[in-house]
Amino acid sequence: MGEDCAVHAYVLMTNHVHLLMTPAETGRVARVMQALGRRYVRYLNDRYHRTGTLWEGRYKACPVGSAAYLLRCYRYIELNPVRAAMVADPADYAWSSFHANALGKHDPLVRMHSSYRALAAADSERCAAFTHW
């Protein structure tokens, strides 16, 4: 995603975005969020002939301290459209990392976290373990 942050999970919602990222250095997440706010909001405003902000508020960053919590963050992020009653199945939502992490489809934004990779050696087994979990 630029700025030396590995994106592990994401979902783009109508009024917010969730990103699970590992920065290469301190301060990189803030730079990514600043760039995202400038570029993505400008793109949507131009495309849909609108003005103003898109997000509900400032971004919030929370450190992830354990592998179990990290995997819960994956699940929380990718199930967001289901909880919002936008789709019944996360596979039906195009703007998330679910297709990469649970179905094994290539997504140039997504890089595997070591805790996710540790679920299984083979890609198909890892996706099955992730989906089951």
The H or E element containing residue 55 is: none
Q: 64 pLDDT exceeds 70?
A: yes
Q: What is the rounded average pLDDT of the residues 36-50?
A: 86
Q: 11 pLDDT exceeds 80?
A: yes
Q: How many domains does the chain have?
A: 1
pLDDT computed for residue 1 by the predictor: 45
Strand-pair partners of 23: 5
Domain extent for 123? 5-132
Range with the poorest average pLDDT among 36-50, 59-73, 88-102: 36-50
